[in-house]
Amino acid sequence: MKKILLVTTVLALSVSLHATKVEIGSNQEIFVDGKPFFPIMQWAQSKNKMEEQKQYGINTFFGQGDESTAEAYAAEAARLGLFVVTAFKEEQVDSVRNSPALLGWLYKDEPDMPGKDKKAPRIPLAESIAVYEKARALDKDHPMFLTLTPKFDPNIEKVNYDISFYRDYNKATDIIGYDIYPVYGTMSVDKLWWVASGVTELERLYKGKPVYAFIETSAGSKWISPARMRHPFPYEIRCEVWMAIIRGAKGIAYFTHSWVAPENIGNPNMKKRMADDKSNKYYTQFGVPEENKKELTRINSQITKLTPVLFTPDISGKVSRETSGAGEVEILVKEKDGKTWIFAVNMKRSGCAVKFKVPGLKAKTKILVDEENRTLEAGAQGFSDNFTEHAVHIYTLE
pLDDT per residue, tens digit, the chain (398 aa), is 444 443 333 333 322 324 367 789 999 999 988 889 999 999 999 999 999 999 999 999 999 999 999 999 999 999 999 999 999 999 999 999 999 999 999 999 999 999 999 999 999 999 999 999 999 999 988 999 999 999 999 999 999 999 999 999 999 999 999 999 999 999 999 999 999 999 999 999 999 999 999 999 999 998 888 999 999 999 999 999 999 999 999 999 999 999 998 998 998 888 665 544 455 788 999 999 999 999 999 999 999 999 999 999 999 999 999 999 999 999 999 999 999 999 999 999 999 999 999 999 999 999 999 999 999 999 988 999 999 999 999 999 98
Is there a single domain that holds both residue 341 and residue 291? no
Is there a single domain that holds both residue 302 and residue 346? no
Structural domain includes residue 113: yes
Is there a single domain that holds both residue 275 and residue 338? no
Is there a single domain that holds both residue 82 and residue 139? yes
Is there a single domain that holds both residue 248 and residue 134? yes
Structural domain includes residue 183: yes
Structural domain includes residue 3: no
Q: Among 238, 173, 232, 229, which residue's Cα sits nearest to residue 205? A: 173
- Residue after which a domain boundary falls, among 287, 310, 333: 310
Structural domain includes residue 1: no
Structural domain includes residue 142: yes
Is there a single domain that holds both residue 204 and residue 255? yes
Is there a single domain that holds both residue 272 and residue 327? no
Cβ–Cβ under 8 Å, residues 243 and 345? yes
The whole domain housing 67 covers 9-310
Into how many domains does the chain fold? 2
* The model's pTM: 0.94
Is there a single domain that holds both residue 324 and residue 306? no
AA identity, residue 227: A
Is there a single domain that holds both residue 392 and residue 305? no
Q: Where are the alpha helices (H) located in 172-325, listed in sequence order? A: 182-186, 193-205, 234-246, 290-310
Structural domain includes residue 64: yes
Structural domain includes residue 315: no
Q: Among 125, 150, 144, which residue's Cα sits nearest to residue 202? A: 150
Is there a single domain that holds both residue 114 and residue 228? yes
- Residue after which a domain boundary falls, among 310, 330, 347: 310
Is there a single domain that holds both residue 204 and residue 290? yes
Is there a single domain that holds both residue 173 and residue 214? yes
- Report d(CA 261, CA 276) in Å as an integer: 9
- Residue after which a domain boundary falls, among 310, 343, 359: 310
Within its chain, how far is the Cα of 45 from the centroid? Answer: 16
